[in-house]
């Protein structure tokens, strides 16, 4: 039997990185203070760490899915520098008003506040839901967590590692 582990679900823009809008290039990416350290602390504590991020810029035609994948790869390289890792990235390129028809959907199941990305992670990884948390900076993040039966924390800025310190110590 596989041992269940708690998971830290993180929104990306506004939680892991500064959010000036539609970040998709590494040269525009800026880590939130304490973000890499928070990921490393949860890794050391034995938690899964997942990113769940709406990326409507793809559907709006601002950038391609390959740009999202490349940015996530660069994030992983940066995290590896401090022996940290994201176990999986989940992103939703769909939007009800997408200019790119392939990404247009009236209510995308993966687009937060819908819980699709969280539910996929729960189906793909041995997660202890009762001990897991979602950290988001928007109500849609918190609502997605509620719909998935997941406790959530509202991050309003500052140092992410300090914000989550009590959660690591409680693990």
13 is catalytic: yes
CA 50-54-56 angle, to 5 degrees, is 150
Residue in 143, 146, 147, 164 with CA at minimum distance from that of residue 155: 164
Residue with tokens 């990404």: 103
Catalytic annotation, pick one of 13, 110, 137, 141: 13
Taking the C-alpha atoms of residue 45 and residue 54, their distance in angstroms, rounded to an integer, is 27
141 is catalytic: no
Taking the C-alpha atoms of residue 25 and residue 121, their distance in angstroms, rounded to an integer, is 25
What separation in angstroms does the CA of 157 have from each of 60, 115, 142, 153?
Answer: 27, 23, 15, 12
User: Which residues belong to the active site?
Assistant: 11, 13
């Amino acid at each position: 039997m596989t041992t269940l582990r708690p998971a830290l679900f993180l929104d990306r823009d506004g939680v892991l990185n500064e959010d000036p809008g539609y970040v998709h290039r590494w040269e525009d990416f800026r880590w939130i203070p304490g973000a890499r350290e928070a990921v490393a602390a949860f890794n050391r504590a034995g938690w899964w760490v997942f990113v769940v991020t709406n990326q409507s810029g793809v559907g709006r035609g601002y950038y391609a899915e390959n740009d999202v994948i490349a940015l996530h790869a660069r994030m992983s390289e940066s995290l590896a520098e401090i022996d940290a890792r994201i176990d999986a990235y989940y992103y939703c390129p769909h939007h009800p008003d997408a200019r790119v028809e392939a990404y247009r959907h009236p209510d995308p199941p993966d687009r937060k506040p819908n819980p699709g990305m969280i539910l996929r992670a729960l189906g793909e990884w041995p997660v202890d839901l009762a001990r897991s948390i979602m950290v988001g900076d928007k109500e849609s993040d918190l609502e997605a967590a509620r719909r998935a039966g997941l406790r959530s924390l509202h991050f309003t800025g500052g140092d992410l590692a300090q914000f989550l310190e009590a959660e690591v110590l409680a693990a």
